[in-house]
Structures are given as structure tokens and as C-alpha cells.
């Protein structure tokens, strides 16, 4: 750490434990994940909000059950005790309580959260990490928003090209509470026992039973009754678990539980089973029921959940067992769930103090865990396209004397047209160096200027990376006045004058396409200001 050396100090330069710098190809992969997730969120009509990175300590206190010990508390600064946000859900509920005029909203939020957990950096378990949340708040007919959340989740993992490689585990807090009551769990132990059951994805039943009985004081006979239920699952099972019963469908398990006289006689369990019956009907309509595993071991440890709960797992979610080949250093193994959420109908009223609840349901995607698996899969896929560090479409280069001004003019024309372009920042760069710069960044096209071609009002367009025997290996001549149109065609733009992302096509670009010279375009452009 810091050591005195006269008036100076030397430091070990490092990021804090559980954090990392992002750059290069890692940033590209992560941004692609953000983009695909955001596209799905917007497709479903969501708007975005932002909240402070820290909240008043009492806002976060008591909302996370046993996980509250992972909250980062901040020192008193100016008379307010604050904590770094643990997730994006509680701040959203606080925001809704402060904006009581908003009675319905589809909202997404992409931001960093903080947890004082034991990190495993390569597996995406960090102390500072991104979450991408989608939530629906408002009073609607039962299970419709819940079904859309599941549909959104499937769309996102299909967009990430995880088809067939993920499962959405689903359960219902009311079913769990009813199950615990039927088995004889005292009311005051419902949440602690639920938290223990939630560890079944990481620990064997024997360890969970020991925690229930020895640490939490549950009667061993009650624990054994619970064990007969929590081994049950129905539907897709990406991570095969040993269980006493034959493999059931999600519907099959639901029907079996509905026939259980003890569960059906319990008001909480019956309400949860009715919800699941309706939800499965909607998921069949959305054609995503086949991605579901109805799993009674899923409990979700957070205290604020009140209804349907779910989490998304992949083949890398399960911790390695002793019988498996050693893959402890594989970043794609043991990352845990990659998304999770559920219904939390009472959270807003905890802040507002109003008796009328504002029901909410949502899901949070763990980008860093998704990134860790995506990167590992890319590394193993020899057919995957190389990762480009930028999105430049065209590199503008020149023969001979460098033609710096002319390269700058062409780059300006392309920028005005919404085409991503670069050129060398040397006045007289050598041609091989220019091609090397384009190659390093994976730029797909080059515009090549030469004095003889410019004198005839022409230039060359070249597709980079063509084989030596390709007829267009050395590029094709085009008229300078048609440069933008020719590039639009080669870049796959559907029509001439396609708008850039900003939605603005600058006047210089439009004039250039009409065949005017750069000087004429400058004279003809409308005056502003």
C-alpha cells in the first residue's frame, strides 16, 4: 500500500476487490449485450428512469432478508446515513411512492449495484456489477403482466443466441408459504426456512435440512415433510436433479399439487396454484411454456416477494460436484442464476404508507454473469465472427503524396451522410500502414484516393479482406459524385439517404449526393443561425 519515501508515496495500483476495469473486446461484448436487452425492453413499450447510486440507509433496511448483511453502508456525510443500492427494485418502489400520480408504468433501468459479497471475478460474481431491470407497475387482470415478463425474458435470451441453453425456473411464494404451513412450520420461521430452501440449487438436501434443524430450530419431522415436496419439479430441466418421481411436465406437476388435499385446503397454497394455472395458460398462448421448469425448491431469499418468483439458469449455473471433471477455473461454470425476479405487491406501500397497494412485477438480468458465459462460448466457437473494437464502416486512404486535405474532405462527406469513417492522422502515410490500420480494427471497406483518379472525378471503393484471386481484390472505380450512394449500396442500406442514428441527415451530405462539389455544396447549403 502507501509507503513514505521522503515527501512522496508509492501505491500498489489496483482496482478494489470485486471490481474491474472494462476495455477492449470485453467492452464490445458487454455493449452488444446491453443493446440486445434494451431493444427487447423497448419493443414491449418500456420507458427508462434513473435513480441515485446510494439511498438513505432506512430505505434499504429490512428489504432483503438475510442478504441485508451484504449492503454497503456509507459513513455519515452531512447528517444522513446512506447505503449503496443493493438492487434496482427497492429504489424503483421508493420512486413510485414519491411519484404517487403514476399509477401504471413499464420501466427499464440499466445501472450498477453493489454487494459486499465474496467475489469470483471470472464467473461474473462481483461487488460492483450491472443489472438490467424490467418492471411493470399497476393494477391489471391477474397474471397478464407476469406472463409478459416471462415472454420478454425468452425474447432476450433468444436474442443473445442462447436458444435451448437456458431454463426459467418458476414457483410461487403463496404455494411455498402454504406448503410450509401444511408441513407445520411456525409462522415466525416462514422466511428463515424459505431462505434455507433457496440454497438447494447450491447445496444438497442433507445440508439444507441440517441448517433448518440445527441452525434455525425446526422440528426434524417438519423438515422431512418439507423435503418430500421441494424435490419436485416439472417441465424443462436443463440441470438434471435426482428426484424420487417420474419426470413431469409443468402442467403435470401443477395438476398433481392441485390434487393434494392438504395443499388444496390451505388458502395460501390454493391461491398460488390458481395463479399458476392461469399463468401457464397465458404462457402457452405466448408459446414459451416449454422454456419453464415449475420447481418447488425455488424460494428466492428476498423478503419483498409476494407472488410468482422465477430465475433463469443455464448449463453453467450449477456449482461443480466432486464427481465431475475439474472445471473450477472455467468462467462459465458455477455462475449461478443469470436473471431473476418476481411479483412484489406490497413494497411500494411500505414506503408510501398507503393501504392501497400499487402491484409490481419485474425481472433483473445479471449482465456480468451473462457476459462471462457469452465470452467463454465465443472463445470456444471457432466459427464466431471476430470482435471489432469499433464500428467504423470505411477507412479513407490515399496513394502517393498523402492527399491529406482530400482525405479529410471525403471523411467529412461520409460523416455528414451518417457513414462511420476514419482516416490516418499522418500527412503522408504509407499505403501499407493505412491498410494495416483498417485491418486491425476490422474495417470492412476502404475508399482509396489517387491523384490520377481524382483528376477524372473518380476514386476506388475496395472491400477489405478479399482473396488474392477475387476479381475486385484491388477495388472498383466509382464516380466521386456517386460515392455516398455506392457506399450505401455496399453497406446494405435499403435506400439512398438512410438517416444516421441521430435521425438527422446533414445538408452537406444531401448536397454531395446531388453531385455538387464540396465547394459548391458549401455555397448552396442553407444558412443557419
CA atoms within 13 A on the CB side of 430: 3
CA 247 to chain centre: 32
E strand residue ranges, 372-424: 394-398, 421-423
Task: Give the count of beta carbons closer than 10 Å to the beta carbon of residue 323.
Answer: 5
The C-alpha cell at 86 is 443493493
Mean pLDDT value of segment 358-373: 92
- pLDDT tens string 143-180: 999 999 999 999 999 999 999 899 999 999 999 999 99
Nearest CA to 357 out of 373, 371, 370, 346 is that of 346
Q: Which long-range contacts (CB under 8 A, 24 or more apart) does 237-245 make?
A: 237/167, 237/293, 238/165, 238/166, 238/167, 238/293, 238/313, 238/314, 238/315, 239/167, 239/313, 239/315, 239/317, 239/318
Global pTM? 0.79
Q: Which helix or strand (DSSP H or E) is residue 315 part of?
A: none
Q: Do residues 520 and 511 lie in contact, with contact meaning Cβ atoms separated by under 8 Å?
A: yes
Nearest CA to 424 out of 442, 406, 404 is that of 404
Nearest CA to 241 out of 179, 296, 178 is that of 296
Residue 198's pLDDT is 83
Report the distance separating Cα 430 and Cα 402, nearest Å.
8
The C-alpha cell at 105 is 408504468
Nearest CA to 508 out of 493, 522, 497 is that of 522
- The CATH architecture annotation of domain 394-524 reads 3-Layer(aba) Sandwich (3.40)
**Which CATH number describes the domain made up of 24-380?**
3.30.930.10
Residue 323's pLDDT is 41
The C-alpha cell at 370 is 451473462
- pLDDT tens string 266-310: 999 999 999 999 999 999 999 999 999 999 999 886 778 999 999
What SS3 state is found at 352?
A: helix
Percent of the chain with pLDDT over 70: 84
Residue 194's pLDDT is 86
Reply yes or no on whether the pLDDT at 122 is more than 80.
Answer: no
- pLDDT tens string 382-403: 777 777 778 899 999 998 889 9
- pLDDT tens string 9-21: 677 899 999 899 9
E strand residue ranges, 45-104: 47-48, 54-56, 82-84
> Parallel, antiparallel, or unpaired for β 128-137 and 360-366?
antiparallel
Is the four-CA dihedral 294, 309, 303, 270 of positive or negative sign? negative
115 annotated as belonging to a binding site for a ligand? yes
11 annotated as belonging to a binding site for a ligand? no
Report the distance separating Cα 337 and Cα 227, nearest Å.
22
Residue 39's pLDDT is 96
Lowest mean pLDDT among 140-144, 168-172, 334-338, 480-484: 334-338
Nearest CA to 418 out of 480, 494, 503 is that of 503
Residue 2's pLDDT is 52
Report the distance separating Cα 340 and Cα 366, nearest Å.
8
CA atoms within 13 A on the CB side of 318: 14
Task: Report the helix count and the strand count for the chain, using DSSP H and E.
Answer: 19, 18
449 annotated as belonging to a binding site for a ligand? no
The C-alpha cell at 394 is 470505411
Q: Which long-range contacts (CB under 8 A, 24 or more apart) does 138-143 make?
A: 138/103, 138/104, 138/105, 138/358, 138/359, 139/103, 139/104, 139/358, 139/359, 140/359, 142/275, 142/278, 143/275, 143/278, 143/279, 143/282, 143/308
43 annotated as belonging to a binding site for a ligand? no
Report the distance separating Cα 384 and Cα 388, nearest Å.
12
374 annotated as belonging to a binding site for a ligand? no
Report residue 223: phi and psi, to 5°: -60, -40
Residue 175's pLDDT is 95
Domain with CATH 3.40.50.800 in the chain: 394-524
Residue 188's pLDDT is 87
72 annotated as belonging to a binding site for a ligand? no
305 annotated as belonging to a binding site for a ligand? yes
Domain with CATH 3.30.930.10 in the chain: 24-380
Is the four-CA dihedral 20, 24, 27, 33 of positive or negative sign? negative
- pLDDT tens string 373-382: 888 888 888 7
The mean pLDDT value of the chain amounts to 84
> Using CB atoms within 10 A of its CB, is residue 369 exposed (0-12), middle (13-18) or buried (19+)?
buried
135 annotated as belonging to a binding site for a ligand? yes
pLDDT band at 40 (very low <50, low <70, confident <90, very high): very high
pLDDT band at 317 (very low <50, low <70, confident <90, very high): low
Report the distance separating Cα 175 and Cα 274, nearest Å.
10
Q: Which residues contact 393 (CB under 8 A, 6 or more apart)?
A: 419, 420, 421, 443, 444, 445, 487, 491
Percent of the chain with pLDDT over 90: 59
- pLDDT tens string 230-253: 988 898 765 544 444 457 899 999
114 annotated as belonging to a binding site for a ligand? no
Amino acid at each position: 500500500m502507501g509507503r513514505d519515501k521522503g515527501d512522496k508515496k508509492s501505491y500498489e495500483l489496483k482496482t478494489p476487490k470485486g471490481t474491474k476495469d472494462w476495455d477492449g473486446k470485453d467492452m464490445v461484448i458487454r455493449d452488444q449485450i446491453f443493446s440486445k436487452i434494451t431493444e427487447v425492453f423497448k419493443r414491449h413499450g418500456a420507458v427508462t428512469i434513473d435513480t441515485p447510486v446510494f439511498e438513505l440507509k432506512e430505505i434499504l433496511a429490512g428489504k432483503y432478508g438475510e442478504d441485508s448483511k451484504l449492503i454497503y453502508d456509507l459513513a455519515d456525510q452531512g447528517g444522513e446515513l446512506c447505503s449503496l443500492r443493493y438492487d434496482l427494485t427497492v429504489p424503483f418502489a421508493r420512486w413510485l411512492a414519491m411519484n404517487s400520480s403514476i399509477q401504471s408504468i413499464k420501466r427499464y433501468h440499466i445501472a450498477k449495484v453493489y454487494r459486499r459479497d465474496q467475489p469470483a471475478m471470472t464467473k461474473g460474481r462481483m461487488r460492483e456489477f450491472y443489472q438490467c431491470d424490467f418492471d411493470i407497475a399497476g393494477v391489471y387482470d391477474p397474471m397478464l403482466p407476469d406472463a409478459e415478463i416471462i415472454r420478454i425474458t425468452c425474447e432476450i435470451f433468444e436474442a443473445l443466441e442462447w436458444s435451448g441453453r437456458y431454463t426459467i425456473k418458476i414457483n410461487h411464494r403463496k404455494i411455498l408459504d402454504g406448503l410450509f404451513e401444511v408441513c407445520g412450520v411456525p409462522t415466525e420461521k416462514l422466511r428463515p426456512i424459505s431462505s434455507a430452501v433457496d440454497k438447494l440449487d447450491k447445496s444438497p438436501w442433507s445440508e439444507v435440512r441440517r441448517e433448518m434443524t440445527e441452525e434455525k430450530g425446526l422440528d426434524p419431522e417438519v423438515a422431512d415433510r418439507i423435503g418430500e415436496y421441494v424435490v419436485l419439479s416439472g417441465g424443462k430441466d436443463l440441470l438434471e436433479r435426482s428426484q424420487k418421481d417420474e419426470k413431469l411436465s409443468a402442467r403435470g406437476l401443477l395438476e398433481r399439487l392441485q390434487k393434494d388435499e392438504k395443499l388444496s385446503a390451505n388458502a395460501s397454497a390454493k391461491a398460488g396454484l390458481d395463479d399458476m394455472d392461469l399463468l401457464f395458460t397465458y404462457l402457452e398462448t405466448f408459446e414459451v411454456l416449454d422454456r419453464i421448469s415449475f420447481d418447488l425448491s425455488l424460494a428466492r431469499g428476498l423478503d419483498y416477494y409476494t407472488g410468482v418468483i422465477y430465475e433463469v439458469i443455464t448449463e453453467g449455473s450449477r456449482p461443480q460436484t466432486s464427481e465431475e471433471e475439474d472445471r473450477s477455473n472455467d468462467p462459465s461454470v458455477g455462475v449461478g442464476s443469470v436473471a431473476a425476479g418476481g411479483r412484489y405487491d406490497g413494497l411500494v406501500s411500505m414506503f408510501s404508507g398507503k393501504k392501497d397497494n400499487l402491484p409490481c412485477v419485474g425481472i433483473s438480468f445479471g449482465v456480468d454473469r451473462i457476459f462471462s458465459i457469452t465470452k467463454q462460448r465465443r472463445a470456444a466457437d471457432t466459427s464466431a465472427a471476430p470482435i471489432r473494437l469499433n464500428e467504423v464502416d470505411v477507412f479513407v486512404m490515399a496513394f502517393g503524396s498523402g492527399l491529406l486535405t482530400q482525405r479529410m474532405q471525403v471523411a467529412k462527406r461520409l460523416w455528414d451522410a451518417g457513414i462511420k469513417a476514419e482516416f490516418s492522422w499522418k500527412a503522408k502515410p504509407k499505403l501499407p500502414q493505412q491498410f494495416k490500420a483498417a485491418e486491425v480494427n476490422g474495417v470492412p471497406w476502404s475508399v482509396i484516393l489517387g491523384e490520377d483518379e481524382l483528376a477524372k472525378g473518380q476514386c476506388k471503393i475496395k472491400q477489405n479482406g478479399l482473396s488474392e484471386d477475387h476479381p475486385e481484390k484491388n477495388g472498383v472505380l466509382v464516380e466521386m459524385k456517386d460515392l455516398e450512394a455506392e457506399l450505401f449500396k455496399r453497406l446494405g442500406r435499403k435506400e439512398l439517404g438512410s438517416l444516421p442514428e441521430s435521425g438527422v441527415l446533414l445538408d452537406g451530405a444531401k448536397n454531395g449526393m446531388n453531385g455538387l462539389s464540396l465547394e459548391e455544396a458549401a455555397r448552396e447549403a442553407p444558412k443557419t443561425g
